[in-house]
Structure 1
Amino acid sequence: MFGRVIQAQLRTPKGDITVAAKTVRSEDSQTYRDFYREAAILIVVHEEKDHDVRNSNIVQLIGMITTSKEKYILLEYSPTGDPLWVLRQFREGDGDDQADLLDRFLRYAVHVTRALGELERLRIVHRDVAARNVLITVDDVAKLADFGLARDVYTTADYVSTTQDGCHKLLPLKWMALESIETGEYTCQSDAWSFGVLLWEIATLGKDPCYDGRIQLSFLQMVGILRQGIRMERPPGCPEDLYRLMRSCWREVPATRPTPEGIEKRLLQLLPHYVIEMETAL
């Protein structure tokens, strides 16, 4: 939301490599804070001693450009784009078999749970887990990206405009946990809630989240709906076990929501045997 991304060539001693270069849309203090926050979080992830770039499901940080007038975060380039576009293409008549498509995207969902597990170990919360913020690499691996809203848990159209602490912000209301909407509290458990909405996006082939028959809702309306125990309905054709997993992510008490490890285990149980074997071998 704060930046624009261009495809670029990075010159290195070993030759040019294609990268995604992310810069700011406007030069104001809030935009730069978001820009440097994303960079700082990616640096923390990549400098963690157990981080393995080759097997990580978090988008790879290539480097930063900070000495020129235009600042850039350089990320690995993912030519396939985000899964939301692929889902919507199918809904408009792309022609793939729906069962095969669900298996494919549940495999991507497993990859995202692994990214969330990595963030949980570092005590970082993403704050904007959604299909639009996942990238599919050339190797057909899903990676969590766009950390513009991410926060360390120890610090204080899809986005709804609001003012918090005197600052104008755009927040992904329909992906947010109840406690995040009410009190601004973000934890790894609130990321689990958002992941449940991502699963709903997969099951609906990329439809906009809809609560109580309404797509457009205010903060007060969302709080009222969620406080009544109302959640998004099971999408047509969605397996009951998958919907139960979504509902477990949307439990009101954060501590009762499943962990990334627990979500991954349940997703693998939903996949065909051959997919389970493939995921175990990764």
Structure 2
Amino acid sequence: RWEKKSGHLTPGPLIGEGMFGQVRRAKLRTPEGELAVAAKTVRVEDSQSYRDFYREAAILVAVHEQNSNVRASNIVRLLGLITKSREKYILLEYAPKGDLLGFLRSVKNRDGEVLHGNLLRYAVHISRALQELERLKIVHRDVAARNVLIIANNVAKLADFGLARDVYASTQYVKTNNHGVEEFLPLKWMALESIETGEYTCESDVWSFGVLLWEIATLGNDPCFDDKVHVTFLQMVGILRQGIRMKRPPGCPEDLYRLMRACWRDVPATRPTPDGLEERLLQLMGALFPDEAIDM
């Protein structure tokens, strides 16, 4: 069902690239006609890159095969896989508006630092994606604005279930050595228990969601702890162990910041659930933007 013929794919321009992975806009020939897709592939042919590639493919297949209403999902839609040719691809729905981080920064450049209710709707969409993953017992491990795509009908979808730390490289990831294995980790989005023990759960995804809310409230600023934009592994543990959290962004409503802080509680079981996040966000939007017509 998922395997497509490599001859049916016409790769186009590069739309995202990191040290190990890349994404191209492409055209896929189908019985219904030509379809615009995002084609993800590995760039460096090593075991770690292929492990991430197959992990992402397996998770997306599992999500789609257990989800009865894929079109209504807030997880990026899988359209096919090409694994039997030398060039291997994961084929995903194309997001013409790009990722949420770039979108937030374009809003800031256009409108200045004004938080619109329509931006919080994207947070609601991602809380729904986390609900889907919780039901499927899948942990994302890298919930962040750079890994959220805005598709054509202005819906936000959670993407990047494996190649995320490779396709979007650079400053957001810190190199660590874990039992002799070098990894690139999104430290400033990670829960304390994930940094300390390597444990990832639905609750650690909720912590990362709190950082995503902070990104939305700042219209795409880079997370900053204790006035430091760049932190090492040990610095991050020390900062969080002292109870230090990111400050309330200028102009951020107190109730929204309170929700972020709830996501960053030390004890995982005391953080909001994905269902609770959606409920609280909808209440907040009604209170903060009563006159804004927000299409959910």
Contact preservation (8 Å) 2:38, 2:93: yes
Structure 1 partner of 2:101: 84
Tell me which of 115, 139, 142 is aligned to 2:153. 139
SS of 1:54 mapped into structure 2? helix
Cα RMSD of the aligned pairs, angstroms, is 1.6
Partner Cα separation in structure 2 for residue 43 and residue 240 of structure 1:
40
SS of 1:64 mapped into structure 2? strand
Say whether 1:19 aligns with 2:58: no
SS of 2:102 mapped into structure 1? helix
Contact preservation (8 Å) 2:113, 2:218: no
1:132 deviates by: 0.3
Contact preservation (8 Å) 1:126, 1:149: no
Partner Cα separation in structure 2 for residue 15 and residue 197 of structure 1:
40
Instruction: Tell me the TM-score normalized by structure 2.
Output: 0.87
Q: 1:171 to 1:149 in 2, by over 3 A?
A: farther
Structure 2 partner of 1:62: 79
Query: 1:180-219 CA deviation, whole Å, 9 max, x = no partner?
Result: 0000000000000000000000111111100001111111
Contact preservation (8 Å) 2:129, 2:157: yes
Paired positions, count: 269
Gaps of 5+ in 1: 151-156
Say whether 1:219 aligns with 2:233: yes
Partner Cα separation in structure 1 for residue 252 and residue 113 of structure 2:
14
Contact preservation (8 Å) 1:81, 1:135: yes
AA at the equivalent of 1:148: G
Tell me which of 111, 115, 127 is aligned to 1:95. 111
Instruction: Tell me the TM-score normalized by structure 1.
Output: 0.92
AA at the equivalent of 2:111: G
1:54 deviates by: 1.4
Bigger Cα displacement from structure 2, 175-184 vs 50-59: 50-59
Partner Cα separation in structure 2 for residue 165 and residue 16 of structure 1:
47
Structure 2 partner of 1:115: 129
Query: 1:232-255 CA deviation, whole Å, 9 max, x = no partner?
Result: 000000000000000000000000
Structure 1 partner of 2:4: none
SS of 1:252 mapped into structure 2? coil
Q: 1:274 to 1:65 in 2, by over 3 A?
A: farther
Query: 1:33-86 CA deviation, whole Å, 9 max, x = no partner?
Result: 0000000000000000x4311110000000100111000000000100012112
1:166 deviates by: 2.5
Structure 1 partner of 2:92: 75
Partner Cα separation in structure 2 for residue 275 and residue 60 of structure 1:
29
Map residues 29-48 of structure 1 onto 2, 5 A cutoff.
29-48=47-66
Partner Cα separation in structure 2 for residue 270 and residue 141 of structure 1:
19
Tell me which of 272, 287, 290 is aligned to 1:258. 272
Structure 2 partner of 1:181: 195
Tell me which of 46, 52, 56 is aligned to 1:28. 46
Query: 1:94-137 CA deviation, whole Å, 9 max, x = no partner?
Result: 137824xx311100000000000000001100000000000001
Contact preservation (8 Å) 1:45, 1:51: no
Q: 1:166 to 1:276 in 2, by over 3 A?
A: farther
Query: 1:146-174 CA deviation, whole Å, 9 max, x = no partner?
Result: 11169xxxxxx100011223322111000
Structure 2 partner of 1:153: none
Structure 1 partner of 2:139: 125
